[in-house]
Structure 1
Amino acid sequence: MTPLANWYTDAAGYRKLGLRADDLIPEESETVELALKRLSPKEAYDRVFRLRRAFQCSLSHQLLPKEEQTKPEEDILYLTPIIKEIEAGKKEREDLESMVIKRRAA
């Protein structure tokens, strides 16, 4: 399945615009917005730069030169681990809030 997955990822075309997979996550969710706030300043700047550059390429109907395209080894998940951490924290909070404490009979 790996060759098929690699082919599909390449066919998606986001790497040819200089984007990473996590750049494609929609920002409408409260969880994603919180994860974006938790990014380091450099990672947040790099993300905005990649998005703006991809938007410019899209407007001009051009792809980045080969040397500027995202390589498979550079396409690491930087936002997904933070999102999973936030969701785990929310679930733990919900579990603690829904816990019922019963007194023992004396």
Structure 2
Amino acid sequence: MFGPVGLSLAPYVRSSRTLSKWIAPVATWYANASGYRKYGFKYDDLLVEETDEVQRALKRLTPAESYDRAFRLKRASQASVLHKPLEKSEWIKPEEDVRYLVPHIENVMKEVDERRAWDDLKVERK
């Protein structure tokens, strides 16, 4: 998978129990060390918004998802102004950190590819 989300080895790692056993603790450590959950962010809140695909995917969020995203962004901005993370009870838990935007981005990218395929279609007369 290429594009704003990047290349993902996750399906390959998940299919191998040995790799999962070795990589899962490192991935968990890295997510905790990056600190975005301390400010109330989910991983998809950190995606670059300036690409057309992400902009179109953001428009496809439900009103509740859009509101939650805006709330997380404002709350994190306030915590940043105060130069301290949120209270530990307000941190995003790993089980809450689900990819809510990536499925929409993937659908947008599939539509773009399909549109390109139809735009390049050549009609021949017989």
What TM-score bracket applies, with the shorter chain setting the length? over 0.9
Instruction: Map 1:30-45; keep pairs closer than 5 Å.
Output: 30-45=52-67
How high is the sequence identity, in percent, across the aligned residues?
Answer: 47
Question: How many Å separate the matches in 2 of 1:97 and 1:58?
Answer: 46
1:11-32 Cα offsets, whole Å, 9 max, x none, are: 1110000100000012111111
Count residues in correspondence.
104
> Per-residue deviation at 1:87?
0.5
Structure 1 partner of 2:36: 14
Secondary structure in 1 matching 2:41:
coil
The two structures, once aligned, show a CA RMSD in angstroms of 0.9
Gaps of 5+ in 1: none
Secondary structure in 1 matching 2:33:
helix
Q: Are 1:55 and 2:77 matched, yes or no?
A: yes
Instruction: Map 1:64-83; keep pairs closer than 5 Å.
Output: 64-83=86-105
Structure 2 partner of 1:102: 124
Q: Are 1:26 and 2:48 matched, yes or no?
A: yes
Structure 2 partner of 1:91: 113
Q: TM-score, with normalisation over the residues of structure 1?
A: 0.93
More contact order relative to length (CA 8 Å, sep ≥ 6) = 1
Stretches of 4+ aligned residues off by more than 4 angstroms: none
Question: How many Å separate the matches in 1 of 2:69 and 2:98?
Answer: 12
Question: How many Å separate the matches in 1 of 2:33 and 2:111?
Answer: 35
Gaps of 5+ in 2: 1-22
> Per-residue deviation at 1:33?
1.1
Question: How many Å separate the matches in 1 of 2:119 and 2:59?
Answer: 25
Structure 1 partner of 2:10: none
